Structure 1
């Protein structure tokens, strides 16, 4: 099982994987550590990620970016008009939700936002599998904390269509906080005052602030606040608006009327913003922007800060709101940790630091912190990966209430109840009790629609409770329903059952004076006292049918089949292009080798004939063969290879003969060297023996001789 975390962003997506006793951010096919969150459509196939970005300027009307901002929204939502400013493709209505109308494979097609995100998730799945050399099925995905139930369900549906199973949808700031805290070894003990951290995430399109409390082995989100339209793209837009005015006055060109010119200015503005984060001024030069006019200007950091002053004046609002929700002051915060690409704007950092009156912390990678936290979350949930125990406790973002029809026999019954308040722990379960004589329905909705993004419908779902019946005319069935906001932040009424009041006997343990006996009191052998008490006993289950914003199984299955078909079509087109490129490369390579490597192995007649055929193949490739099938390219390649076969064979035989000759020479040389080595060793051994014998003779000559006595010598 792979342990993958995905930071699904508005501008780009980062993928992290837990492995090698740590977390790595993986690179895509062009070695970038993040992939553009973009889907494009062409006459033959789709363009996903990097390829969509590459052809964006030339394919504006068929390229959809900011897909994360579209998912789970209706076309009539006023926020969609805001998004259309940043999206060049035409947005449209697709079965009640927003989608895009594009030209795909020569036909006008409409794809819903859920389908677009599913397409992108398929690309993320391929990129991850290519890096891990393993199939990828399970992962954790980050979402903004302000995502509603319908948006979260749409993300889950998109992942399922792409063949993925989401272990957890985790809020961006919670993921960043997890990445910050799980590696800390000096967190306070559970019984001590926790360490309070303010996690601020300023991304491409939104700004979120969370107050998080850390203790050893646990993370608890205390509050979260946000500004949904405050981020890098808003800074870019302020600069683009200025450049449009300047170019209009200076060069008399109106880039707002020309999509391609506008796209190039947006790209230049984004680059200029990044340069100004580290420099006091930056040039803007764009060749042949519009009507063959070259434009140039100089932007200073002070000018940029003046353009974004209205945004900077809002910088304190989310952190102020988060502190208020947590009932804390600025002095209660121990650390302010900043992540997100938008956090690199110096003026923005200055405003936030001035608000808190203390230095900011940048210990995490601004672009990768959320992805790493998602990978940690996935590792915690994975049964095959060992990770330090770390509990993650998030909160409900919007209050949720249930409403129902008044029972005819209970005239004073309330008809609604707020079950999950904002700030309730997530995941969370509540038991609802109803007294009914017949089946009934409940409707879940957001209690404060004005807090939802745009004009989101506050409706969450309708739950019909079946199998309710009363035994007698005066009796009610006591129905218990288990409502749960799960680990994804999605609401469901999971189970229903009914209970009956029954009298049961329980033992009464009393002390000397009729008080309840303490656990340490000694038991006696006397008769035990009992009493009858009423308890609710579960008697059976109640079937529940749910109607929610999630796609039904049949629809998901159909969309999944369609996605698989498009994936195979993309693969076929990619393989076809690969074979076409191989053919083109082989034509050029063979033509060059005929005059170089193969020159001595082919007659002039053979060379002339092959070159003529290569010329014909090249002409065919750029004319009639431009859109040929994969099989045709393979057949053409085989035809050319067969034609050049005899010459290639002669070259191969010569190379093989040379190789064998060189090997034989090397073997002979090696044998001669071995013989010489052996002779040298024998000579050396003989010399050593001679020297040894000579040493022995010298020792004998130097040895003292024994004395002898003659017979009869007088003593």
Structure 2
């Protein structure tokens, strides 16, 4: 399914004439300006990021904006307003909200309410919504990590994209990825509005650094369905880096201070190398690994105790959905408890009435967990991801001024120990591991909103997936391609100057399929420019008009097409 860049765009045509000095040449320009929509058209670079000050103007009616950490297990919402940046608490007074949507006989249950439905309505309760985004049923990795582990039903649409099939109000329905995500976002918006006691719509949403155009568009579309105005998407580690650097008053003006940010979350690990100077940050590289995270640790514990209880109590939790859910919930609690206990302390796990009215129990130590993780090669993968990020950035371990660790799984002591051994220095956790993304996203949103005055702090991100932009005219006389290479700054634009009066077709394609998920579409978008307002050359051998445009990437990580200007030179008698 090719997403067309002109979808929803409005084109405005106007002509202007410029008389060149000397009376010899007259330049006639026809301009077509494409309005920005959903991150697909150009979003101008705004180099003004700063700490929120109580200088909120009256430009916006609510005087508040949101930063959303769209997590695999939980979501966090930060609200920026006159008081500063606050984390919004939900109806259960929790600072994080479960990423759960449950479909009932009379209504939907979202967040905390959906969490209470997991056991009684497990086939219609959707968990781990973030892992669904961009998923394809034919993708073997997606099948192993998601399809075989979830307890609800997934099916593919015409293009093979994973959709949720559930029963709502007694009828079987199929929901797309964007629809399910929008339900979650609408609940987060409701929580923020209840806290602020006024409507809040402007937001910036954090997404993983390795997400593709398709995945980013799902979140943008979902935000629109939820009634949110998503001013931009922001890579999660960039949001963390913004929160880290914007409060620093001692950043150098010349030689940059280089910091490595390691985010070990539930579903993936992300590493970013960032250079800080006074008033700005520049990302030097990104690297990620979707085979290492809290999910893999949970699965390792689940398999261990499923085998142990099968041998000890003659019951296998893997053969019954409710028993599987009960055991998974307990091993997740065990993992958190082990992280806080001494390595040799035996910690109990108890599952009441797991199946067949059988109560089961066992013991486990942190040493056993760390040894099991090492045997699976998890820590080697972690070191490999860090080494790849340093290599892409072109820096050595000695060049780093610090290593900042965030993410829920970073609470495991062994993760911090292995990172310290790899980098050869102490790793720090000066930021709240669970809230840094939401807080950084709220600052980025305040920078883009007219409701706040902010201190200048420029952001330059780093393109992870190289893209080719192919162009071809209707008469086949003008064709070629331009590369948006890996490491290209975001936002940025490359200018094109083409000689043609025929309709143009632009196609965006990923040039390195190996860096993408197995079933990710290679074609990002396609744009047809009719150029109806461009006059045809008169006479044989007449010169074709010159079409000038810009193709590039926005700070959201999506492709952009800037204003198209057509120029033609004519002799003045």
SS in 1 for 2:109: strand
Q: 1:415 deviation in Å?
A: 3.3
2:430 to 338, 363, 368: 363
Higher share in strand: 2
> Is the CA contact (8 Å cut-off) linking 1:470 and 1:477 kept in structure 2?
yes
Q: Within 5 A, what are the aligned runs for 1:319-334?
A: 319-334=386-401
Q: 1:406 deviation in Å?
A: 7.5
Question: Which 10-residue stretch deviates more, 277-286 or 492-501?
Answer: 492-501
Give yes or no for the alignment of 1:292 onto 2:292.
no
Count of residues paired in the alignment: 499
Q: Within 5 A, what are the aligned runs for 1:376-391?
A: 376-391=443-458
Q: 1:206 deviation in Å?
A: 0.6
Q: 1:20 deviation in Å?
A: 4.5
Match of 1:176 in 2: 240
Q: Within 5 A, what are the aligned runs for 1:511-530?
A: none
Match of 1:458 in 2: 522
Which ranges in structure 1 are unaligned for 5 or more consecutive residues?
505-715
Q: Sort the Cα spacing of 1:141 and 1:409 in 2 relative to 1 into closer, same or farther, 3 A.
A: closer
Match of 1:206 in 2: 268
Give yes or no for the alignment of 1:90 onto 2:153.
yes
Q: 1:218 deviation in Å?
A: 0.7
> Is the CA contact (8 Å cut-off) linking 1:75 and 1:99 kept in structure 2?
no
Question: In 1, Cα distance between the equivalents of 2:80 and 2:546?
Answer: 48
Match of 1:349 in 2: 416
Q: 1:21 deviation in Å?
A: 4.4
2:348 to 264, 283, 287: 283
Deviations 1:442-501 (A, max 9, x none): 211111111112320110111112125333343323222221312311113233221124
Match of 1:54 in 2: 116
Question: In 1, Cα distance between the equivalents of 2:421 and 2:398?
Answer: 13
Match of 1:402 in 2: 469
Question: In 1, Cα distance between the equivalents of 2:291 and 2:411?
Answer: 17
SS in 2 for 1:389: coil
Q: Within 5 A, what are the aligned runs for 1:7-46?
A: 7-46=69-108
> Is the CA contact (8 Å cut-off) linking 1:407 and 1:436 kept in structure 2?
no
Q: Within 5 A, what are the aligned runs for 1:89-128?
A: 89-96=152-159, 97-128=161-192
SS in 2 for 1:313: helix
Question: In 2, Cα distance between the equivalents of 1:264 and 1:409?
Answer: 63
SS in 2 for 1:319: helix
1:315 to 379, 382, 387: 382
> Is the CA contact (8 Å cut-off) linking 1:436 and 1:470 kept in structure 2?
no
Q: Sort the Cα spacing of 1:409 and 1:312 in 2 relative to 1 into closer, same or farther, 3 A.
A: closer
Higher share in helix: 1
Question: In 2, Cα distance between the equivalents of 1:172 and 1:384?
Answer: 24
Q: 1:409 deviation in Å?
A: 7.0
Question: In 2, Cα distance between the equivalents of 1:382 and 1:406?
Answer: 39
Question: In 2, Cα distance between the equivalents of 1:24 and 1:454?
Answer: 39
Match of 1:565 in 2: none
Question: In 2, Cα distance between the equivalents of 1:471 and 1:270?
Answer: 74
Root-mean-square deviation over aligned CA pairs: 1.7
Give yes or no for the alignment of 1:373 onto 2:440.
yes
Q: Sort the Cα spacing of 1:476 and 1:340 in 2 relative to 1 into closer, same or farther, 3 A.
A: same
Q: Sort the Cα spacing of 1:343 and 1:499 in 2 relative to 1 into closer, same or farther, 3 A.
A: same
Question: In 1, Cα distance between the equivalents of 2:185 and 2:263?
Answer: 23
Deviations 1:272-329 (A, max 9, x none): 1111111133101111111111111100111111221221221111211111111000
Q: 1:333 deviation in Å?
A: 0.4
Q: 1:396 deviation in Å?
A: 1.4
Q: Sort the Cα spacing of 1:406 and 1:232 in 2 relative to 1 into closer, same or farther, 3 A.
A: same
2:496 to 432, 457, 462: 432
SS in 2 for 1:402: strand
SS in 2 for 1:61: helix
> Is the CA contact (8 Å cut-off) linking 1:465 and 1:496 kept in structure 2?
no
> Is the CA contact (8 Å cut-off) linking 2:473 and 2:502 kept in structure 1?
no
Question: In 2, Cα distance between the equivalents of 1:322 and 1:365?
Answer: 23
Q: 1:98 deviation in Å?
A: 1.6
Match of 1:136 in 2: 200
Q: 1:502 deviation in Å?
A: 6.2
Q: Within 5 A, what are the aligned runs for 1:682-701?
A: none
SS in 2 for 1:110: strand
1:481 to 509, 524, 549: 549
Match of 1:240 in 2: 302
Q: 1:74 deviation in Å?
A: 3.4
Q: Sort the Cα spacing of 1:445 and 1:289 in 2 relative to 1 into closer, same or farther, 3 A.
A: same
SS in 2 for 1:316: helix
Q: 1:414 deviation in Å?
A: 6.1
Q: Sort the Cα spacing of 1:408 and 1:45 in 2 relative to 1 into closer, same or farther, 3 A.
A: closer
> Is the CA contact (8 Å cut-off) linking 1:463 and 1:493 kept in structure 2?
no
Q: Sort the Cα spacing of 1:450 and 1:500 in 2 relative to 1 into closer, same or farther, 3 A.
A: same
Q: 1:179 deviation in Å?
A: 0.6
Question: In 1, Cα distance between the equivalents of 2:380 and 2:331?
Answer: 21
SS in 1 for 2:167: strand
Question: Which 10-residue stretch deviates more, 88-97 or 157-166?
Answer: 88-97
Q: 1:437 deviation in Å?
A: 4.1
Question: In 1, Cα distance between the equivalents of 2:238 and 2:448?
Answer: 15
Q: 1:80 deviation in Å?
A: 2.9
Larger Rg over CA atoms: 1
Question: In 2, Cα distance between the equivalents of 1:229 and 1:438?
Answer: 48
SS in 1 for 2:563: strand
Question: In 2, Cα distance between the equivalents of 1:23 and 1:388?
Answer: 15
TM-score where L is the length of structure 1: 0.68
Question: In 2, Cα distance between the equivalents of 1:438 and 1:219?
Answer: 42
> Is the CA contact (8 Å cut-off) linking 2:67 and 2:441 kept in structure 1?
yes
TM-score where L is the length of structure 2: 0.84
Question: In 1, Cα distance between the equivalents of 2:178 and 2:102?
Answer: 15
> Is the CA contact (8 Å cut-off) linking 1:446 and 1:460 kept in structure 2?
yes
Match of 1:670 in 2: none
Give yes or no for the alignment of 1:266 onto 2:328.
yes
Question: In 1, Cα distance between the equivalents of 2:481 and 2:100?
Answer: 42
Question: In 2, Cα distance between the equivalents of 1:214 and 1:61?
Answer: 48
Question: In 1, Cα distance between the equivalents of 2:158 and 2:479?
Answer: 35
Q: Sort the Cα spacing of 1:49 and 1:501 in 2 relative to 1 into closer, same or farther, 3 A.
A: same
